Amino acid sequence: MLGLCRSAHVSDLLHVAKLLAEDAAMTKETDRHAWASHYLQEMSKAVIDDVVKVLESPGNTGL
């Protein structure tokens, strides 16, 4: 259940990262949207890595 909740949060983070990346592609004056998008993508990856680590841990009951 915890994995499903976190994957929903990751989905939201990736959606916002996509929107920021689109804004970065359209705005040439600044790269702040690109950096924010990159940061959110890295944060999303970290959450998924944590979920995988927990699910693959010994003694995990799959709940």
How far apart are the C-alpha atoms of 3 and 57, rounded to whole Å? 13
Using alpha carbons, select from 46, 26, 50 the residue that is nearest to residue 38.
46
Enumerate the domain spans of the chain. Answer: 2-53
Note the pLDDT tens digit of each residue in 11-46.
899 999 999 999 988 887 778 888 999 999 999 999
Note the pLDDT of residue 3.
Answer: 58
The pLDDT of residue 43 is 92
Give the global pTM: 0.73
For residue 4, the model assigns a pLDDT of 62
Residue 55 in this model has a pLDDT that exceeds 70: yes
Q: pLDDT at position 18, please?
A: 92
